Structure 1
């Protein structure tokens, strides 16, 4: 896909549309598992943390190996970054508004499917919805370059006329050690290991892992947490619907504000992170209907805004060429963290009978992302010296 003014061309908006659909499916399926969590605990006669950990395994280990959602997400995010050298905040805001749309639509749909068909049929129907990803993949086309060069004259290098067995060529051959080093370097670049050597990659990864882990746990455990506070399943789904609307508004508005230069990227990220931390810390005192609804809107709206800003932040730190490798390894590391610690909110609930401590601890994890921003500022000042 071409760059430059690609933001006004078809391929750019195709990339936005495909990433939008991917986000709908990702958030929708994860939220559907959260809606079904109380039903699954009852059906399998087990504890909450066991089912929660199974969801974490689905979101973690399977994503590392075979998840079409993970692979397509990385490629589509990189495609959007390449196609929109300017107005990237607006483009990624539109694309990632699929997360709240998925939450907004699939959460009540899952509750309807549960009430109508049961959890087994509901899972089958939700799985069938994922087939839309194949249509998204079919929309991408790589520009053919063979036809552009087929009629062009190509000059031969001078050394192409020389005999490979000539003494001069033999003298210029690389040693086996140098050849092994070159092969190792090529494989390192091929698998994207080179990003591990960049400190800026680890800054972006810490930010991504903290935000991704906490937001995924919120999607899984918010409905059970609302029901544990005495709200009905229908009221809990209403909270999620309102949160999805807030996510869309926050994401689009903040993306445009950052693109237009009305607010700088890093202050915007810091403000959003602080808002989210506060919404977690006050969970033990949030008991009424309207307070719970407002709290959900503030957190998930902030989550949507920071999700778009992280991609802009990563592109600024690493550049466009390293985005595929960076996004891929960030997905893998996030999945490993989810696999290792995705059970603990449910475990805390089983031990204490309340989700309050679990949500406060998630707020502390979210606050670690402020450390990443501080590290980036210190690193930038160090290089200026």
Structure 2
């Protein structure tokens, strides 16, 4: 891309996707009323480790992040068409997945006999009161965590939804506020690594669950109830959406890397060979004793993951209905495995009706129109999701 082909109202941003299995970064252009364009992207797998938890996993993630940032700095801007004249980067937007982030949704309610004007200060008072109550009762947010994002996701005045609740009169008001938290030792180290190679005016953090929810709501505006199932390297995260509100996020420790550990344990297969066996299993196109052993491992893994999936969802379905629509995000080589697990499972105890889940895999085909990609760049559905979110964030 030539500098002369870039629109005058375009803005250059950096985006990062940080999970527990890999780290990616991209240079994107955003402009009002236009889809974002991905000029350059680079993904680095977090090195597989038998017990990649806690400080060890953090160290491995930061190493992969450094590789991504160096790639952007050393070749990214040139590949993107900027040459030696680097653009001004106003913002680096970082998407964090579990275990680097934890989220919650709070419902703020106001009821009066007489209508009163709903102002920003009224909302702030409700929020402060809610935080006092939830912070004293919250056990899921680790001690020492700091808030990285806060978003008003839904407003109701006298029972009617509105996108602009302030400066209006109402006797009843209800606000749904989504908040995410992370540990300073995580966000500060991420910011330091980015700053060591690239100057960005600010670095902002968001949860992958919120950004996926936001993008999927844009794509499916008529779908108000669904579950986002994100299978990453070490964990699976479920985001429950009810009446167009992201009401809860839940995680359990089983991701792509757990499959690798099981294959290594029961077949002695090296981690470097798993992508090939994933493909053979999905296509049912393998032969020999090793493949037959691997098939048994996959069936055992699907059963274990299904049990954790059912147990996690059942905790939610006890309190309210369970949406039947599932959006699945996962690496391409394992997405069909987890989709098949959900399709063939017996979830009758979780559902009000005997219907099964409807599953939509969030891949490049689904997200095709959400972002443009420069020639030579390999499409990445996670980068597309984040790019679409970043564009709306900057331009509305």
Task: Give TM-score, length-normalised by structure 1.
Answer: 0.26
Of structures 1 and 2, the one scoring higher in RCO (CA 8 A, sep 6+) is 1
Rg larger for? 1
TM-score, length of structure 2 as denominator length? 0.25
Greater strand fraction, Structure 1 or Structure 2 = 2
